[in-house]
Amino acid sequence: MPSEAGPGKRIVMVAAVAENGVIGADGDIPWRIPEDFAHFKRITLGHTLVMGRATYDSIGRPLPGRTTVVLTRDPDWHADGVLVAHDLDSALALAEDLPGDIVIAGGSHLYAQAMARAHEQVLTEVHQSPEGDTYYPEFDRAEWVEASRTAHEGYDIVRWRRVDADADADADADG
């Protein structure tokens, strides 16, 4: 199945996911891995973060060195230092003119909506199975290739690329 990402910037989904698919519990992350926070900062600096309002609220502020677009259905919601969009298409269109790649940073509904458009996933696979109420969406592994895996104590960082993303890049280079 061809990617629905289409022309434009790369869309990269970044998440920390437990073995049971959990990414959150009661509006928080159910583990503390300081090295993963540093990894998140390293790979997102200079890029545009697109996140849902609940994810933004859990962080509580725009993250330095990144442009933030918050997706919300509430037409009156606003926060200092962030841009607001009311649906995924609007958020992606807004991010097209902003710095760097488009990085989808959560939550679960946004990951599910963006999955068909993503070119890459950078997942911290946490070797735990905590209780939780928020899950990363299932994805068809046949549509993705594991491009790299770096093992750490208690977690792996895995970079997945869409199978046809390489063909898209080749077409762009030929273009």
- The answer to whether residue 67 sits within a structural domain is yes
Q: Residue 168's domain spans which residues?
A: 11-174
- 3-state class of 94 per DSSP? helix
Provide the pairing of β-strand 155-162 with 120-126. Answer: antiparallel
| Share of residues in the chain with pLDDT > 90 (%) | 89
Checking if the pLDDT of 174 tops 80, the result is no
Tens digits of residue pLDDT in 94-120: 999 999 999 999 999 999 999 999 999
| CATH code of the domain in which 26 resides | 3.40.430.10
Dihedral angle over CA of 55, 73, 76, 79, nearest 10: 20
The alpha carbon of 97 is separated from its chain's Cα centroid by a whole number of angstroms, namely 18
Q: Determine the average pLDDT of the residues in 152-165.
A: 93
Q: Considering its fold, how many domains does the chain have in total?
A: 1
Query: Is position 126 within any domain?
Result: yes
Please give the mean pLDDT across all residues of the chain: 91
pLDDT tens for 121-146 read 999 999 999 999 999 999 999 999 99
Instruction: Answer whether residue 5 is part of any domain.
Output: no
Mean pLDDT of 46-66: 96
pLDDT at 29: 94
Q: What is the pLDDT of residue 84?
A: 98
C-alpha 101/C-alpha 121 separation (Å) is 12
Q: Measure the CA–CA gap between 71 and 61, rounded to whole angstroms.
A: 14
Q: What is the mean pLDDT of residues 27-56?
A: 96
In a domain, 2, yes or no: no
Q: What is the pLDDT of residues 67-76, one digit of tens each?
A: 999 999 999 9
Is the per-residue pLDDT at 6 higher than 90?
Answer: no
CA distances from 165 to 12, 13, 45, 147, 148 (A): 12, 14, 23, 12, 15
pLDDT beyond 80 at 87: yes
Q: Which residue, among 7, 13, 5, has the nearest Cα to 103 in the 3D structure?
A: 13
Q: What is the pLDDT of residue 113?
A: 97
Q: Which pLDDT score, from 0 to 100, does residue 139 have? A: 96
Per the domain annotation, does 3 fall within a domain?
no
Q: Are strands 22-24 and 48-52 parallel, antiparallel or unpaired?
A: unpaired
| N-to-C CA span, the chain | 22
| pLDDT at residue 165, as a whole number | 56
Structure-token pair, residue 72: 């919300």
Note whether 143 and 163 are within 8 A (CB): yes
